Amino acid sequence: MTQRRDSTNQCLCYVEPQNVTGTLQFILLGFSDDPELQPLMFILFLSIYLVTMLGNLLIILAIGSDSRLHSPMYFFLSNLSMADIGFSSTTVPKVIWDIQTHSRAISYAGCLTQLSSLNFFGCLDSALLTVMAYDRFVAICYPLHYLDIMNPHFCSLLLLVSFLISLLDSQLHCLMISQLSFCTNTEIPHFFCDPPQLLKLACNDTSTNKILVYFIGAIFGGIPVSGILFSYYKTVSSILRISSSGGKYKAFSTCGSHLSVVCLFYGTALGVYLSSTVSHYPRKAARASVVYAVVTPMLNPFIYSLRNRDIKRALQRFLNRIA
């Protein structure tokens, strides 16, 4: 406590903010405080999580058990399913637990762990979608050299680079947030530890951190999007040069599933990212985040399985083998 005197010689006392980051607990406000909605939200999130886990696990098991699907495209698809499982598991179980126990607290260490995991799997999703776009580009533009270019060694290298880039992104976010000071128990108007919301709650100057957040987002988000756009520009140009309509349809159909996932993931994520910078209602951004953080990992297996005959046949053979 510090004392000072004003012009009337009266003692004015005020309490200086103290850094209690080590014992801090955040409160995740979630979506709604209405107790009548909690049972419905519990059932909804539990159902989504179970469907996400089951769908992605089936994709992984079907690809792993069928030698016909041991190709670069399905190799990256199985890893995308694993990334979706991790991405969903970072947030949804915590939401379900909070609704069940009526406790929304998360420790400082838990918040950093969740933030780091969310950025890792989100960036890994983005990197794998970029690699899959490159895979389709090589398959359509250089079909005769496809197996030579996308050999097992090169595919493993692409996967390793994707992991390392995602790890770097997650550690940069974690390091940046760990440098902030939080003075009191704080409330996060979100269902997970969102970096922009944490910056707003910090009690020290965060102007440099905000610039870093947008710079990191531009690098780790802008480069994959640019790579996907360039790959599909070249791919579409090659497809349009195909003379037969049947050949064009077959070429486009091989890219349809991937394009659907790309539009769903990047469209919703970009919408939430832009709205969070101008919106004064953070809970609306939290509801919108459900689409890319919760719904998209659930829909990916359906998009790929419903539009891909090989996946459907492999799933049928796998389920028949189990039965």
Kindly report, residue by residue over 154-189, the tens digit of the pLDDT.
999 999 999 999 999 999 988 988 888 887 767 888
Give 129's pLDDT tier (boundaries 50, 70, 90).
very high
Weakest-pLDDT range from 151-155, 242-246, 277-281, 295-299 = 277-281
C-alpha–C-alpha distance, residues 40 and 57, integer Å? 26
pLDDT at 168: 94
pLDDT band at 52 (very low <50, low <70, confident <90, very high): very high
On average, the pLDDT of the chain sits at: 82
Contact 53, 64 (CB under 8 A): no
Sheet holding 25-28, edge to edge: 105-107, 25-28, 186-188
User: Can you tell me the mean pLDDT for 101-122?
Assistant: 90
For each of the domains in the chain, give its residue range(s) and CATH number, in order of start.
Answer: 2-322 (1.20.1070.10)
Contact of 108 with 21, CB cutoff 8 Å: yes
- For β-strands 105-107 and 25-28, DSSP reports them as antiparallel
Q: How confident is the model at residue 4 (pLDDT cuts 50, 70, 90)?
A: very low
The 8-class DSSP code of residue 35 comes to G
Where does residue 162 rank: exposed (0-12), middle (13-18), buried (19+ CB within 10 A)?
A: buried
Q: How far apart, in whole angstroms, are the C-alpha atoms of residue 191 and residue 38?
A: 14
Per-residue DSSP letter, 70: -
Opening angle at CA 298, ends 294 and 303, nearest 5:
135
Confidence of residue 275 (pLDDT cuts 50, 70, 90): low
d(CA 210, CA 166): 20
What is the pTM for the complete model shown? Answer: 0.84
Query: How far is residue 136 from each of residues 130, 232, 235, 243, measured CA to CA in Å?
Result: 10, 8, 8, 19
* pLDDT tens by residue, 200-257: 888 877 788 888 887 888 888 888 888 988 988 888 888 888 777 776 777 677 777 7
